[in-house]
């Protein structure tokens, strides 16, 4: 059994989380799949999988090897496609990562449409509230909402989002006046700590910054929790504008103190340098860039 076939078997076992499921997917016998992975581990002198009677999961070495295998297999598929003269029809798997809520609200509808536009492209999406290392974790594309540090990666700016204060109309109707950030002292606040982890809300007006130290009774590391609490009339929260676009449109929430909104946060598509980018990744980057620049949630 050659190395590429063994890699493909290992990838199937890792993705299916089991030898029997991988065997069904590959139309092989389960003993053949088990033997192939065992021979692979013996050759590498490394344990790639933790096996129990119920589950199969990757070791740390297995996680790294899986990312490398996926990349190598994808590059071989790309080379085969080029040799066959299918440059006009990108194909293969592209992995895309982004934050959890942005992925659900903004990226998922775009990626679903992309599958119709590129029938031979498959998407692996991974939406999580942490910065994914594209190189170490084997991802092709990331959509990041932040000022980007210098790196060897290429970035395409596609828009921006704002940090907004919002509250339910019923709450605002019965609460004390709110004309400046200083008036927040008389209000209930809800902290979404992933956006402002130090309990500080920064405001800006006419080029001058002002900081308000929150004393929130409710702090959440999940935007859905903070938004749900605000909709329920529990106070004022600060989130990124795309997160509350549906609630603002429906009238469940209103933006407050808009004149004190700080500078917008840029949104970028990040990927490998152009010289290292495959045709399928380039196609997905271009599609995402066009659609995100048109997205109402981004300015």
Domains, the chain, with CATH or none: 3-64 (1.10.10.10), 90-158+266-294 (3.40.190.10), 163-263 (3.40.190.290)
Rounded distance between C-alpha atoms, residue 19 and residue 57, angstroms? 11
Q: Are 241 and 165 in contact (CB under 8 A)?
A: no
Rounded distance between C-alpha atoms, residue 12 and residue 75, angstroms? 17
Position 197 scores a pLDDT of 60
Task: Collect all residues with Cβ–Cβ distance below 8 Å to 28 and sequence separation of at least 6.
Answer: 9
Query: Shortest CA distance to 195 belongs to which of 223, 216, 217, 218?
Result: 223
pLDDT digits (tens, 9 = 90+) for 37-70: 999 999 999 999 998 877 888 999 999 999 888 8
Structure tokens at 187: 């209000």
Q: Are 161 and 260 in contact (CB under 8 A)?
A: no
Give the least confident one: 76-90, 171-185, 257-271: 76-90
Give the least confident one: 75-79, 159-163, 284-288, 289-293: 75-79
Q: Are 161 and 240 in contact (CB under 8 A)?
A: yes
């Amino acid at each position: 059994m050659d190395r590429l076939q063994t890699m493909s078997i290992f990838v199937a076992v890792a993705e299916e989380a089991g030898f029997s499921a991988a065997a069904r997917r590959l139309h092989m016998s389960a003993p053949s799949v088990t033997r192939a992975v065992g021979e692979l581990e013996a050759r590498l002198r490394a344990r790639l999988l933790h096996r129990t009677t119920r589950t199969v999961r990757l070791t740390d070495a297995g996680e790294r090897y899986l990312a490398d295998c996926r990349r190598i297999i994808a590059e071989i598929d790309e080379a085969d496609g080029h040799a066959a003269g299918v440059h006009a029809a990108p194909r293969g798997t592209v992995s895309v990562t982004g934050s959890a809520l942005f992925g659900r609200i903004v990226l998922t509808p775009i990626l679903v449409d992309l599958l119709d536009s590129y029938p031979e492209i498959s998407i692996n999406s991974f939406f999580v509230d942490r910065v994914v290392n594209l190189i170490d974790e084997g991802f092709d594309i990331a959509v990041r909402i932040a000022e980007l540090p210098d790196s060897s990666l290429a970035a395409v700016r596609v828009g921006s989002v704002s940090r907004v204060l919002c509250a339910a109309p019923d709450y605002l109707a019965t609460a004390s006046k709110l004309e400046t950030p200083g008036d927040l002292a008389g209000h209930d606040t809800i902290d979404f700590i992933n956006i402002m982890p130090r309990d500080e809300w920064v405001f800006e007006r006419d080029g001058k910054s002002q900081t308000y130290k929150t004393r929130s009774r409710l702090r959440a590391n999940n935007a859905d929790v903070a938004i749900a609490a605000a909709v329920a009339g529990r106070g004022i929260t600060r989130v990124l504008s795309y997160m509350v676009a549906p609630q603002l449109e429906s009238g469940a929430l209103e933006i407050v103190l808009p004149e004190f909104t700080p500078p917008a946060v840029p949104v970028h598509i990040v990927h490998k340098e152009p010289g290292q980018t495959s045709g399928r990744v380039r196609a997905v980057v271009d599609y995402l860039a066009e659609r995100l620049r048109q997205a109402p949630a981004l300015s």
